Amino acid sequence: MKPENRKEEIVITAAKLFKEKGYSAVTMRDIAKAMGIKAASLYNHISSKQEILKNIIISLAEQFTQGMSLIKNSNSNSLEKLKQIVILHVDITARNTFGMASLNNDWMHLEEQLEHYLKLRHNYEDDLRNIINQGINSSEITNSNPDIMLFSMLSTLRSLYLWVPKKEDLNPKEFANELSKVFINGIKK
Amino acid sequence: MKPENRKEEIVITAAKLFKEKGYSAVTMRDIAKAMGIKAASLYNHISSKQEILKNIIISLAEQFTQGMSLIKNSNSNSLEKLKQIVILHVDITARNTFGMASLNNDWMHLEEQLEHYLKLRHNYEDDLRNIINQGINSSEITNSNPDIMLFSMLSTLRSLYLWVPKKEDLNPKEFANELSKVFINGIKK
DNA sequence: ACTTCAAACTAACACTTGTTAGTTTGAATT
DNA sequence: AATTCAAACTAACAAGTGTTAGTTTGAAGT
């Protein structure tokens, strides 16, 4: 039986600091100070700094993988699937703004888990690309460069962690809905 | 008369490494090794690690500011201005993929120049927001949440450094043109 | 040949890093 | 009252950090 609570506190505190300064610039002493304890005490709950990063990133990456799996196997059409993907990103980001910063900016500091992470990310991108291509084939989506659409969507969705916290007035559902409209219809009147 | 060439080499080498691992994770010894010299030798050309970061980021930030100034004072309509902004980003990014990573991810490690940088960035965002609002007023742009359009565009443009190097087949002009189409018309057929 | 000087070097510094070992605390359980 | 144990502590480590001081190298200009 592990003290899962205290460990979770450490991971959350660390994620907050990682968002501000990045993994490498945050020291174990920084994390400890933010919790009001000494650095050595952290090791009663976690085994290494690396383990904190792994906990933040891998759990998020797997949430995305799982969400994508549901969406791609649903029988919605492509545009509906894309909307659901926007919702997936907004939801996960809204529940974990701090961790999303690490997922985006500190994944390269993963050690043992780097390969696993890269595999998940690659598969996720492939799934998204497939949905776009299916949309082009079914004439739901305009037949221009699918990589550019993929890039544009993914860049925006990956940056959500920077904007979601600033838009607390808009609830996640509304935010996702407005954002989908921009992707799908563009900004032109 | 300063050895501006060697200094520039250091800055470029550092930017490459900063892109891979981030400012904090790159040591002066890393930079030196990449140039085939010893860390202490770097100090014949630069005064500190911080100065390298400043050189990378501030020059880029000022290029954006200058470009924006030309665009906002032109007498194009709003959609044309937005196209020109896409071109601005693609051009600067294509000429400096490494530095753009630092601009996006390491600006918070600026010290003396942090305030200056934040001011430039804030003004840039305001200018872009104004162009969008003008487009809404002139009925060129759809009257939905302008912050979401701003966010979507800016996220994509800021992530260009990740994608431009992978798309060497597409020339910058074409890339910018395709990307503008996605922003303006969306992905729907 | 002599001087100059950019640009490299060696050696060292004070400080910070992640982490370990061993110890103390204090509340809950027996 | 005695025991247990999670969770804190102090003290220390080996390695790595940015940076400085002083020295050597070697090509270019006189």
pLDDT along chain B (189 residues), means of 10: 71 98 98 96 96 98 98 97 98 96 98 98 98 98 96 98 88 94 95
What part of A 52-81 touches B (C-beta under 8 Å)? 79
Q: Do B179 and A132 touch (CB under 8 A)?
A: no
CA–C1' gap, A32 and C19, in angstroms: 14
- Quickly count: other Cβ atoms within 10 Å of residue A144's Cβ: 14
Q: Do B184 and A187 touch (CB under 8 A)?
A: yes
- Quickly count: other Cβ atoms within 10 Å of residue A136's Cβ: 17
Lookup: nucleotide whose C1' is closest to A24 CA: C17
User: What's the confidence (pLDDT) of residue A4?
Assistant: 60
Q: Average pLDDT of A114-134?
A: 98
Q: Do B188 and A142 touch (CB under 8 A)?
A: yes
Domains identified in chain B and CATH numbers: 49-185 (1.10.357.10)
User: What's the confidence (pLDDT) of residue A1?
Assistant: 28
Q: Do A187 and B183 touch (CB under 8 A)?
A: yes
- Mark the nucleotides of strand C covered by protein, meaning any atom under 7 Å from a CB: 6-12, 16-22
* pLDDT of A58 strictly over 50: yes
Q: What is the mean pLDDT of chain B?
A: 95
* pLDDT of A186 strictly over 70: yes
Tell me: the pLDDT tens digits for B14-60? 999 999 999 999 999 999 999 999 999 999 999 999 999 999 999 99
User: What's the confidence (pLDDT) of residue A3?
Assistant: 37
* pLDDT of A2 strictly over 50: no
* pLDDT of A74 strictly over 50: yes
Give the three-class secondary structure for A141. Answer: strand
Kindly report the backbone phi and psi dihedral angles of residue B188, in degrees, each rounded to the nearest multiple of 5, phi listed first. Answer: -75, 145
CA B18 to chain centre: 14
The CA distance from B20 to the nearest CA of chain A, in Å, is 8
Interatomic CA distance for residues A106 and B132, integer angstroms: 33
For chains A and B, CB pairs below 8 A equal 131
Which residues touch B63 (CB under 8 Å, ≥6 apart)?
B92
Among residues B105, B93, B102, the alpha carbon closest in space to that of B163 is found at B93
CA A49 to chain centre: 20
Q: Which residues pair with A141 in a beta bridge?
A: B188
* pLDDT of A71 strictly over 60: yes
Chain B interface mutation, best of A141, A152, A166, A181, highest count of B Cβ atoms under 10 Å? A152
| Dihedral over Cα of B102, B105, B111, B114: its sign | positive
